């Protein structure tokens, strides 16, 4: 059960190995995203709505993920990439919306730290797993359909995990996205979920296919632990569940209608969330824009900032 790479924060000497994290996530995914009667895939008619409205249009009847049939996860386990894919479609689909389509959840663990090749390229470590959601090929019920997802998580004591937005000046790894959203569970070994508020409407992910992703804060929800022994062993003591809604896209700009494709990803982990340093590109731009005197000032500023951080015990600075 212990990782090979020695001590890690949060879990002490016995950090879970990437493979354990993967199997945990693969068996917990049914709890988080599949199976429960309250977990749903939403579809909205976004034809006549403005950017800010929530929900983003008139809702069509949601697809309950409890009424999906899923592939046998064992067949899609790939030890080489430490990944597995759940692929499903509604069992009852009279309109044939999913005749050529599916909703897929791909989980991937990582042997070490790095970044995936595709945006949003969140920094990951061996203590994290990526979960990628893709809706591909399903027929939308309107010309301007927007989609959403209800996600369930474990609560923490009497509260739901805290949703937090972080701004950054750096968009090198996720074009035009200057924000990182996260859910934080407080006590140690703490857990976290991180994502960039961006989804993509083409498998070739780039600025042209980037859609906004909006998240509402979690609320308490009813759910039951899945039967999986490994999930029960880890989460038996938890008896409260929270759920939150995500919506993808806006009525203008790129959308699912372009290619009948939507993908979004998040990072789940234990311990302290990985923190992005400024990318070399942004540092380079700063050097070019500010010149050496500016850089010295910046370095001084960073020094003060880090000093301040230490004094304020790493309180977030806005
Ligand atoms: C959109 O809104 C306009 C004005 O509010 C209305 O005339 C039009 O019928 C609406 N279209 C749809 C498809 O609801
Ligand atoms: C999934 O497939 C594996 C082998 O491919 C098999 O042993 C297992 O029973 C299958 N599980 C289900 C639920 O069909
Ligand atoms: C599914 O694909 C087949 C073959 O490409 C096509 O004939 C059919 O119309 C498609 N069905 C839907 C609902 O898109
Ligand atoms: C979708 O667009 C087509 C062509 O613009 C139009 O004929 C059709 O009525 C639209 N369908 C809906 C559901 O709005
Ligand atoms: C998510 O949105 C749907 C429909 O808009 C709503 O019925 C549901 O209660 C929401 N879930 C949460 C956890 O807010």
With beta carbons less than 8 A apart as the criterion, state whether 256 and 135 touch. yes
Q: Tell me which residue has its CA closest to atom 10 in ligand 4.
A: 143
Q: pLDDT tens, 233-250? A: 666 666 677 788 899 998
CA 313 to chain centre: 27
- DSSP assignment letter at 104: E
Render pLDDT for 82-117 as a digit per residue (tens, 0 to 9): 888 888 899 999 999 999 999 998 888 888 888 888
Indicate if the pLDDT at residue 269 is higher than 60: yes
Q: Report pLDDT digits (tens) over 38-50.
A: 478 899 998 877 7
Find the 54 Cα to ligand 1 centroid distance in Å: 18
Give the span between the Cα atoms of 71 and 91, in whole angstroms.
Answer: 12
Position 252 confidence tier, pLDDT thresholds 50, 70, 90 = confident
Ligand 4 mean position, distance from CA 33 (Å): 32
pLDDT, position 168: 73
For the chain, the maximum distance between any two Cα atoms, rounded to a whole number of angstroms, is 68
Where do the domains of the chain lie? Answer: 18-277, 278-318
Ligand 5 mean position to 245 CA, how many Å? Answer: 6
pLDDT the model gives residue 292: 52
**pLDDT value of residue 12:** 36
Q: Which residues line ligand 5 (CB under 6 A)?
A: 55, 59, 150, 216, 219, 221, 243-245
Average pLDDT, the chain: 74
Q: What is the number of alpha carbons within 13 Å of residue 289 lying toward its C-beta? A: 7
Are 10 and 190 within 8 A, CB to CB? yes
Compute the average pLDDT of residues 150-175: 76
The position carrying tokens 């090979």 is 4
Q: How confident is the model at residue 37 (pLDDT cuts 50, 70, 90)?
A: very low
Tell me the percentage of the chain whose pLDDT exceeds 70: 63
Atom of ligand 5 minimally distant from the CA of 62: 4
Euclidean distance between CA atoms 84 and 147, whole angstroms: 24
Please check the confidence at residue 13 and state whether its pLDDT lies above 60.
Answer: no
Which tokens is 78 given? 């790939």
Spatial contact of 102 and 8, defined as CB atoms under 8 Å apart: no
Cα 48 to ligand 1 centre (Å): 6
Residue of 48, 142, 143, 252 to mutate, ligand 1, most atoms within 8 A of C-beta: 48
Does the N-terminal peptide bond of residue 55 adopt cis geometry, omega within 30 degrees of 0?
yes
C-alpha span between 41 and 299 (Å, rounded): 47
Atom 4 of ligand 4: nearest residue by CA position: 143
pLDDT at 234: 60
């Amino acid at each position: 059960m212990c990782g090979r790479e020695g001590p890690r924060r949060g879990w002490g000497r016995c950090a879970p190995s990437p493979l354990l994290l993967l199997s945990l996530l693969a068996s917990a995914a049914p709890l988080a995203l599949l199976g429960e009667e309250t977990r749903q895939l939403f579809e909205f008619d976004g034809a006549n709505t403005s950017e800010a409205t929530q929900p983003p249009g008139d809702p069509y009847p949601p697809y309950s993920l409890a009424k999906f049939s899923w592939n046998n996860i064992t067949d899609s386990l790939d030890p080489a990439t430490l990944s597995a894919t759940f692929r499903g479609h509604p069992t009852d689909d009279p309109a044939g919306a999913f005749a050529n389509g599916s909703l897929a959840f791909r989980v991937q663990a990582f042997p070490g730290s790095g970044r995936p090749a595709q945006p949003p390229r969140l920094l990951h470590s061996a203590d994290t797993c990526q979960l990628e959601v893709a809706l591909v090929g399903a027929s939308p019920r309107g010309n301007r359909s927007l989609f959403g997802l209800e996600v369930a998580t474990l609560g923490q004591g009497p509260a739901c995990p805290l949703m937090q937005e972080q701004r950054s000046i750096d968009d090198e790894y996720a074009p035009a996205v200057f924000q990182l959203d996260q859910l934080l569970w407080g006590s140690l070994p703490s857990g976290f979920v991180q994502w960039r508020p961006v989804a993509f409407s083409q498998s070739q992910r780039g600025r042209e296919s980037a859609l906004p992703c909006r998240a509402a804060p979690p609320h308490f929800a009813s759910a039951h632990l899945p039967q999986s022994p490994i999930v029960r062993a880890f989460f038996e003591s938890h008896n409260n569940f929270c759920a939150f809604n995500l919506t993808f896209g806006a009525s203008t700009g790129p959308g699912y209608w372009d290619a009948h494709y939507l993908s979004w990803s998040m990072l789940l982990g234990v311990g302290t969330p990985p923190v992005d340093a400024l990318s070399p590109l942004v540092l380079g731009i700063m050097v070019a824009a500010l010149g050496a005197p500016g850089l010295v000032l910046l370095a001084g500023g960073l020094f003060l900032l880090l000093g301040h951080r230490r004094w304020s015990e790493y309180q977030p600075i806005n």
